[in-house]
Amino acid sequence: MSEYDVLVREINGCEQCELSRDRQNAVPGEGSLTAEIMFIGEGPGQQEDRNGRPFVGPAGHLLDEMLAAIGLKRPDVYIANMLKCRPPRNRDPLPSELDSCTPFLDRQIEIVAPSVIVALGRFSFSKFFPGESISRARGRPRRWRDIVVFPMYHPAAALHNPGLKPAIQKDFESLPGLIERVKEAARKAQEPEPAKPAQQLSMFE
Ligand code: URA
């Protein structure tokens, strides 16, 4: 069994917090395990709990629409959540729930090793940059370890407040350019160092 399959099995059997009691299904995440880009949401809603898959309800339809607008499909990316089980009535995650669940997400990040993580919403963003405001940070890439984190509003926020949709659209539109820049930087970092100019070498002769 692969490391990923073991992880999914652990998530599906997890009983570390109260959320496991009322779940129909845990929602580990899905997509390409070699994806350049990983989306991290907050936690499953009703549809996700029913299906065991992330972002398959109304917020997911908006995510699909935004992905399609930049020429991406779900199988091109990896989609996960901070929490793997649905909080009752979609309430905010509790710190203790986030503490129990985050090690699963850390293992997903390690396995997929994306170059870009899109943090959807404040809970996802605060995993990487605790205490900062998503509305100030959104739309600007940030370095976290060797990964670029790109904070955005959560798609569900646009369903409650349609005035936020243009900001989400704009941030999505900047993703292809960001991915290109990140790839280019990685390519450059792989290149052998240019030979030192003869003059400099001569200093040690
Ligand atoms: N909202 C999330 O954050 N994740 C889902 O999977 C669905 C809705």
Q: Is 182 in the pocket of ligand 1 (CB under 6 A)?
A: no
Separation between Cα atoms, residue 82 and residue 119, nearest integer Å: 10
Q: Which token pair is 112?
A: 């997929």
Which atom of ligand 1 sits closest to the CA of residue 41? 3
Output the CA 45–ligand 1 centroid distance in Å.
6
Long-range contacts of 105-109 (CB under 8 A, 24+ apart): 105/40, 105/80, 105/81, 107/3, 107/7, 108/7, 108/28, 108/29, 108/38, 108/78, 108/80, 109/38, 109/147
Residues 84-121 have pLDDT tens digits of 999 999 999 999 999 999 999 999 999 999 999 999 99
Q: Which token pair is 162?
A: 């349609």
Residues 15-26 have pLDDT tens digits of 999 999 999 999
Separation between Cα atoms, residue 28 and residue 49, nearest integer Å: 11
pLDDT at 201 over 70: no
Q: What is the pTM of this model?
A: 0.93
Output the CA 82–ligand 1 centroid distance in Å.
9
pLDDT at 152 over 60: yes
Per DSSP (E only), the strands in the chain are: 30-31, 37-41, 78-81, 116-120, 142-144, 147-152
- As a whole number, the mean pLDDT across the chain is 94
pLDDT of residue 17: 97
Question: Which of 19, 67, 78, 81 for mutating ligand 1's site (highest number of atoms within 8 Å of CB)?
Answer: 81
Question: Which of 23, 55, 124 for mutating ligand 1's site (highest number of atoms within 8 Å of CB)?
Answer: 55
Pairing of strands 78-81, 30-31: antiparallel
C-alpha radius of gyration, the chain, whole number: 19
Half-sphere exposure of 34 (CA within 13 A, CB side): 0
Tell the burial category of 203 from Cβ atoms under 10 Å away from its Cβ (0-12, 13-18, 19+).
Answer: exposed
Output the CA 35–ligand 1 centroid distance in Å.
19
Q: Is 97 in the pocket of ligand 1 (CB under 6 A)?
A: no
Contacts of residue 199, Cβ cutoff 8 Å, sequence gap at least 6: none
Mean pLDDT of 11-16: 98
Per DSSP (E only), the strands in 32-189 are: 37-41, 78-81, 116-120, 142-144, 147-152
Residues 38-87 have pLDDT tens digits of 999 999 999 999 999 999 999 999 999 999 999 999 999 999 999 999 99
Gap between the terminal Cα atoms of the chain:
57
Structural domains of the chain, with CATH? 21-175 (3.40.470.10)
Output the CA 97–ligand 1 centroid distance in Å.
16
Output the CA 54–ligand 1 centroid distance in Å.
6
Q: Is 41 in the pocket of ligand 1 (CB under 6 A)?
A: yes
Separation between Cα atoms, residue 53 and residue 73, nearest integer Å: 15
Output the CA 17–ligand 1 centroid distance in Å.
19
pLDDT of residue 21: 97
